[in-house]
Every structure is written in C-alpha cells, then in structure tokens.
Chain A
Amino acid sequence: MSLLEIDSLSLTIGDTQILKGMELSVAPGEVMGLVGESGSGKSMTALTAMRLLPHAARATGRVTFDGIDILAATEDQMCALRGDDIGMVFQEPMTALNPVKTIGEQVAEGIRWHTKVTRAAAEERARQMLDRVGLPQAKFPLSRYPHELSGGQRQRVVIAIACALKPKLLIADEPTTALDVVLQAQILGLLRDLVAESRMGLLLISHDLAVVTEMADRITILRRGEVMEAGDTARTLSEQLHPYTRQLAQASMHVPARARTHDTSQGKPLIQVEGVTRDYPGRRSSLLKRAAPIRAVDDVSLSMQPGQSVALVGRSGCGKSTLARMILALDRPSSGTIRFRGETITGKSEVELKPARRDMQVVFQDPYGSFDPRQKVEKLVAEPLHVLEKKPTRAERREMVAHALHEVGLDQRDMDKYPHEFSGGQRQRLSIARAIITRPKLVVADEPVSALDVSIRAQILDLFAELNQKLGIAYLFITHDLTVARAITDEVLVMHDGKIVERGKTTEVLDHPQSEAAQALVAAAPDLHRAIARKMQEQG
C-alpha cells in the first residue's frame, strides 16, 4: 500500500491553473523523484501534501497519506501530522533556520511539541539526531547558532529537524541546490542512509535530472502542472519514450558546438595576475584585539590570452569570487599586481580605471538580483555605456541597446519593459546584453547558469559559445559545476583554500585530475550517463 497517494489533483491559485490531474504515489522505504523545470508545480505538489498552500489556492482531487484524507482533514489533524509523520527539508538552509535560536532548541522544539516529553529528554533525542546527521556533540554542541555553521552543516541541521521524530514520509524540496557538488554528494548520501534505516518514504524534488537519477527508485516528470511520464528511473531514462523526457535529458548533457578555439600560445596576454593575495581582517575578539586575518586568496598567479575561455572551479568559499572581483577591480588585493592589457590596474582610481572598465564586464549568478527593479531595460543595459569616451546621444544609445538585445536573442521592444516582466532565462540574456554592449575584451561570469533550468541553461551556454566565436570575447567562468566547465572552456584552473592547485586543458584536468581537490570535485559531480548506467545495473 502506498504511503502517500495523490490522485487526479488539480490546483488553482486565483485564475492560474497550477496542477492538472496530478498523479503520484510514494511507498514506504521508496524514493520518488519529482523532476520539472521552474513553474512546473513541483513545490506546490509538496505543499499540497502538507496542506501548507497559500490562502488563495483551491485544490480538488484526492490526496491520502497513511489512510488520512489530507484535503478534508482539520487543521488540528494536520498540525499533528506535520513534523511528526511528514518531515520537510527546504532548499535554502540559510532561511529555513531561525537565526536567533540555537540548533539544539530548533531540533528539540518539534520533539517537545509532538511527544510532550520533558526538555531534558527532548534535548537528549536532539543530541542523538544531530550526531546521526554528522554533527557530533563534541564539535557541534547544541548551543551553536545557525550562523556559526557552514551551508552544508546547516542543511544537516534542517534534515535533523525533519527526521527527529522518524517521520513516515520525508519531503525534500531541492535539498542540495544551494550547495556545492561535494556537499551535495554528502547530503544525498545522508538522505539515502536515513531512508534505508527507518524505511521512510522520500519525495525528492529537483530540477537536476542527474541528482534524481542517482537517488530515486521511481521518477515522475512534471511539466506545466501535468505529469508527462512516470515509472522506474532506469527504464524511464534509458528508453526516454516521452519526447519531453528526452528533451530534458539532452539539455542536461548539452555541450555547445564550438569551432576549435583561438590560438592561445602567442600574443600578449590579456590578463596577468601575479602573486595576488587578499586578506580580510579577523573578527574583533575584544575592543583592542582582533583574530588573525582570514586569507581568502593566497598568492595566486594566472594569465589569460585574448579570446580564451577559462574556467575557475572550486568549492564554495574557496576564494574564486574574491579573485574575480579583484580582476574586475571591484576589490583591492592585499598584495600582488593585476595587469590588464599590460597595464597595472591595482591601486588605480576610478577615473584612471575607465579605459579598462570599458573592456571588461561581468555577468552574475542571480538573474533576479542583478537588475535594479525600478529601472527600465533600456537604462539597465545601457549602464556600461557610461564609460565610453564620447557619450552617445539618446537615439544612438537606443540604437546600441536594440542591437545588443538583438544579439542575445531578445526583441528590441523589450527595452521599455521592467526586469520583473522577464523570466529567469530572459534576464540572464539581459545581463549578457549589458555585458557585451561596450564590446569588451573580457567577460567575467560568476556561476552564470547555476540558477537556471536545464533547457534554459543549454540555451545560455550556446549563447556564450556563439558570442565567444563571433566577438572574440575572452571568458573567465567561475563555477563549481564541472559540466559547465567542460561545455564551454579551453582551460581550467582548480582553486582550493585560496590557492590554485591545478591547471591545464579542460578535458585533461577533468578526465585525469591530479590534485586531491580536483579529484574530489570530479568524483562528486553528478553525471547523468553514469547515474543511468548504475541504475540500469540495480534495477535490471
């Protein structure tokens, strides 16, 4: 018998149809993977199962959990279920924890509420649970606060809260999307063990096909609120009967076509970084004393040729974004020099930097945060024009913006819209339009596709490749995602603890990593081919 059974569920919020005839079931001890792109209704399905829907939502159909009709249950019945029989793990461990309560209190809270045991007994169970998820008492006492933990450790706390009462069903909504690949592998392993130990049902929601393939016994593919295909993971993904399944699988393995690359051996280097170090002052421990400074970037040297595409890979917190900011002259190195086209840019004033600014631009990770919500596209995309020597007239400016929009595949009429009128993928196109409008020589892209759906991601990677060919722009890609590095770069630099530990041709480094850090990254990276092959063996 199924633990969770969703039958012809339809959901509307206002006038918008979110789910149409949704079918899904999870058996005890089973991992069900729910895959879909953003807006497909994955999270709403999870919220329906917990009945945590927004007020305006209307659900029809049947949702039964362990024999209880969820849609008809009273609020009191639901409160008893939530956290006790159904646990939930959220995407963003930073916001899912209360910053002013200790981790012990937060884990014990649910235990005390549902079992009415004493505080001491609840804390004892919280301690056991935290120990189970890999946060032993000796190193992580209950009195720690969330901000004292790293992202991966926080997600372990969230899992401890969700699993503290041995729920029958655990719902994990993109549990590893905010983490780097190494942490992702660790968290997925933990979830897998917990499911096996207590025969929990796990509903794993993700946009990442490779992650779901590795984890799930069965898989449900959702698109615009409708189930496209459902069945055993291995069979569904190896046969790829449904066209949408095939489309998703191909998009996640997409490699843009690039005519072989610019000759990189000759000519003057575009960027030269020599012995750059960046220290941040340590935390003030008392009025006069400070802890030792934190070294974010440690004696890094590198150089890039014009037109070359280089990946800077590493785990989160390894200093790759700090290095990128220094190259863009948005942050000053503590020591060392950075030269752009042979000219030193470290320690120069904004006015002296203008010529350099014209030739280097940036694309950020978050397509939502990188635009001022109160300005129109015309003004936002035209922002870098400000560094040109001759200020363009208004008509010229509109002409240039229209041209840039055209180049990234957007309509020129879009220039009179506001950023919120665009989807995530379109916004990333906008930030690329903004980056290329001055015809720069170098574009630094900080995780430019990690917030995007797979099919959109494939399109954006194609666009990057095309612009590299057409305009000869050099790219510095900062990423923890090796598939991106493989797809679009010639050379890769592996960074670990502020140092560059390995460098070389992309395929060589990724196929035969030498350093420990590179090996860990390669081993942890989810790979759809590998995952399908493994599932085929397991499921026959």
Chain B
Amino acid sequence: MTLHIDIPEETLSGILAKAFRNTAFVTGFVITVLILVMAVISYLWTPYDVTKLIIADKTQGPSLAHWFGTDHFGRDILSMIMVGARNSIAVALVAVGIGMGVGVPLGAFAAARGGLVDEALMRVNDLVFAFPALLSAIMITAIFGPGAVNAIIAIGIFNIPVFARVARAGALAIWPREFILAARAAGKSSTQISIEHVLPNIATLLLVQGTIQFALGILAEAGLSYLGLGAQPPMPSWGRMLFDAQTRMVVAPWMAIFPGMAIVITVLGLNLLGDGIADILDPKSRRQR
C-alpha cells in the first residue's frame, strides 16, 4: 500500500506571520531594534561630540538645544546615551551569551549523567557561585587590566553557574517524564535526548533567566565602570553615567533620569521579546492566537 503525501509543512514565513500577531513579541522587537539602531547611528553621527568638554554648558536642564540636558562637564546626555548604548548592550549581551553558551550545556550534561559527574560539576559550580560576582570581576580586571573586553569576560564567567543551575534544575524535572523513557526505548543517546527533548522544554525557563541576567549584566558593567574597571573615560557607558549622577541627584536629576530610563526601556524591551519568543515556541499557544 502506498499513500500519497501532500501536506504543507510549516514554513519560515508561517512562523514569522505568527510571530507578528504576538503583541508582546512585536513590542519587544520594536524596542530592541530601536535601541540597536540608536547604537549603530552613534558610530556615524551624534548631536554633539561626547569627548568634548564645554564647561560653560555644565548641568543644564533639558532644552531644545540639549533634549536630555547636559552633565557636569557640559556634555550632551542624549549623545552620551547613544554612544553608551554600544558598551552597555555589548557587555550585557555577550556576558549572557557566555553564561548561556557554557552554563546550559554544563547543566544539561550534569542532569543527563547524574551520579558522581553531576555531583562534581555542581560542587565546582557552587565554588564559583560562592564568590561575590562583582568582587571577582574586580579581581579579574585587576589582573588582566581594565577595559570593556575584560569586563565582558569577567561578568560572563559569573553568569555560567547561574545558567548551569537553572538548566540542571529544569532538566532534572524533564528527565523522569515518560516521553524521555520512550526516547530511550527508541535507542537515542542521552546527548540526543538532551538536545531534542530536554532543551526545547526548558527554553522558556532559560529565556526568562536570560533577560534577568541581561539586566544584571548592565548593572554589573555600571558597577565596574564606576570603579574605573569597565569602559574607560572618555568613552561613556550607561552605568557610569548613573554613578556620576548619584551625587548630583538633587541639582541635576535629569543626569540620572535619562540613563536610568534607557536601562529600564532596554530591559523591558528584552523581557517582552523573551516572553514573546517563549510564547511563539510553545506549541500550545500557537493555534489559539
């Protein structure tokens, strides 16, 4: 007996069409793209030169000439936010990337193997976890010298145990399920099962953790920059701007408000994007929308 098959498969354009019906995804996507575009434009053009200090214009409130006001050196805050976006986003994104790229496979592997391997990996994990992240990042940048790249690596390393833990906990909850047993009975190896069955089922968990770590990454970069270990002056970064504003909160609140808003909007955008992607990936939500 032969059966003729002419079933349309789910195409990429079909998935995209679904994605753009999802409000959370669209909002998050638009915000993220706008921030990225802003960072790219800053390479070509900014309203003012961020390296030029004009003391005469210092701590001016928002006006037509300076939309977001100026800082204590008379630099334009809008221009600084545009330039700072490069640094903050790059640091946070790459740090999350390192954390996910190393931590998730590690956690999934530990859960799949169990026993001594799991125990050993997780104890090493705990060891890294036990150091306060910022303190260790200071240590790393102190050894290898300050700079944006070293800050990224330092923050990234301390994201690894977070993702390893989350991935392992999620995977442990998936492993005893019957469909895993079915896959084992079909002769699949534990690596294959981890990739095909476990990871898609814990993706939502990891995405949510990813957005949290991204926000923490921006803050960590801010902390390092404040200590002079992150992006080097005169290169602005959002974190640095916030810390500079700290002591002038009362006289020049705009110095804190605008970089703060930039961080909040970026994190919000990424959160919405993460939620949206999780929704789209979940087959149960697909046909209901």
Given contacts A372-B197, A383-B183, A386-B188, contact A412 B178 (CB under 8 A): no
User: Which residues of chain A from 409 to 467 have any CB-CB distance to chain B below 8 Å in the complex?
Assistant: 412-413, 415-416, 418, 420-421, 431, 434
Given contacts A354-B187, A384-B186, A387-B187, contact A418 B283 (CB under 8 A): yes
Name the B residues within 8 Å of A353 (CB-CB). 187
Distance in angstroms from A450 CB to nearest chain B CB is 14
Distance in angstroms from B161 CB to nearest chain A CB is 26
Distance in angstroms from B169 CB to nearest chain A CB is 18
| Interchain CA distance A374-B184 in the complex, whole Å | 17
Distance in angstroms from A119 CB to nearest chain B CB is 37
Decide: A383 and B181 in contact? CB cutoff 8 A: no
Decide: A383 and B10 in contact? CB cutoff 8 A: no
Name the B residues within 8 Å of A330 (CB-CB). 181, 184-185
CB < 8 Å: which of B3, B7, B177, B187 contacts A357?
B187
Name the B residues within 8 Å of A376 (CB-CB). 283
Chain A 346-378 per-residue mask, 1 if CB under 8 angstroms from chain B, else 0: 000010011001101110101001111111100
A402 CB-CB contact with B under 8 Å: yes
Decide: B182 and A364 in contact? CB cutoff 8 A: yes
| Interchain CA distance A29-B5 in the complex, whole Å | 61
| Interchain CA distance A380-B196 in the complex, whole Å | 11
Chain A 303-345 per-residue mask, 1 if CB under 8 angstroms from chain B, else 0: 0000000000000000000000000101000000000000000
Given contacts A350-B189, A357-B187, A384-B187, contact A370 B283 (CB under 8 A): no
Name the A residues within 8 Å of B196 (CB-CB). 372, 375
Distance in angstroms from A367 CB to nearest chain B CB is 10
Decide: B3 and A372 in contact? CB cutoff 8 A: no
Decide: B5 and A375 in contact? CB cutoff 8 A: no
Given contacts A374-B283, A418-B283, contact A399 B187 (CB under 8 A): no
Decide: B3 and A383 in contact? CB cutoff 8 A: no
User: Which residues of chain B from 245 to 289 have any CB-CB distance to chain A below 8 Å in the complex?
Assistant: 281-284, 286-287
A258 CB-CB contact with B under 8 Å: no
| Interchain CA distance A402-B200 in the complex, whole Å | 25
Name the B residues within 8 Å of A402 (CB-CB). 3, 5
Name the B residues within 8 Å of A406 (CB-CB). 1, 3
| Interchain CA distance A354-B185 in the complex, whole Å | 10
Chain A 119-135 per-residue mask, 1 if CB under 8 angstroms from chain B, else 0: 00000000000000000
CB < 8 Å: which of B5, B186, B287 contacts A398?
B5
**Chain A residues touching B, majority SS:** helix
- A379: nearest chain-B partner, CB-CB: B196
Decide: A403 and B187 in contact? CB cutoff 8 A: no
Given contacts A357-B186, A420-B284, contact A370 B178 (CB under 8 A): yes
Decide: A383 and B182 in contact? CB cutoff 8 A: yes
| Interchain CA distance A395-B3 in the complex, whole Å | 12
B201 CB-CB contact with A under 8 Å: yes
Decide: A387 and B186 in contact? CB cutoff 8 A: yes
| Interchain CA distance A376-B9 in the complex, whole Å | 11
Distance in angstroms from A391 CB to nearest chain B CB is 13
Report how many A-B pairs have Cβ atoms within 8 Å.
93
| Interchain CA distance A491-B252 in the complex, whole Å | 88
| Interchain CA distance A213-B254 in the complex, whole Å | 77
Decide: A375 and B200 in contact? CB cutoff 8 A: yes
- B200: nearest chain-A partner, CB-CB: A374
Decide: B284 and A383 in contact? CB cutoff 8 A: no
Distance in angstroms from A441 CB to nearest chain B CB is 14
Name the B residues within 8 Å of A370 (CB-CB). 178-179, 181-182
Name the B residues within 8 Å of A350 (CB-CB). 187, 189
Given contacts A372-B197, A374-B282, A384-B187, contact A412 B179 (CB under 8 A): no
CB < 8 Å: which of A362, A373, A380, A416 contacts B185?
A362
Decide: B3 and A374 in contact? CB cutoff 8 A: no
Which has the most chain B C-beta neighbours within 10 Å: A350, A358, A383?
A383
| Interchain CA distance A321-B3 in the complex, whole Å | 37
Decide: B7 and A416 in contact? CB cutoff 8 A: yes
Chain B 222-257 per-residue mask, 1 if CB under 8 angstroms from chain A, else 0: 000000000000000000000000000000000000
Given contacts A328-B185, A330-B184, contact A371 B179 (CB under 8 A): yes
Name the B residues within 8 Å of A415 (CB-CB). 7
Decide: B187 and A372 in contact? CB cutoff 8 A: no
- A406: nearest chain-B partner, CB-CB: B3
| Interchain CA distance A384-B185 in the complex, whole Å | 8
Name the B residues within 8 Å of A328 (CB-CB). 185
Q: Give 20 A-B contacts (CB < 8 Å), ordered by A residue.
A: A330-B184, A350-B187, A357-B185, A370-B179, A371-B182, A372-B196, A373-B283, A374-B282, A375-B197, A384-B186, A386-B186, A398-B5, A402-B3, A402-B5, A403-B1, A406-B3, A416-B7, A418-B283, A418-B286, A434-B182
Question: Shortest 6 CB-CB distances between A and B: which pairs?
Answer: A357-B187, A418-B283, A384-B186, A387-B187, A369-B178, A370-B178
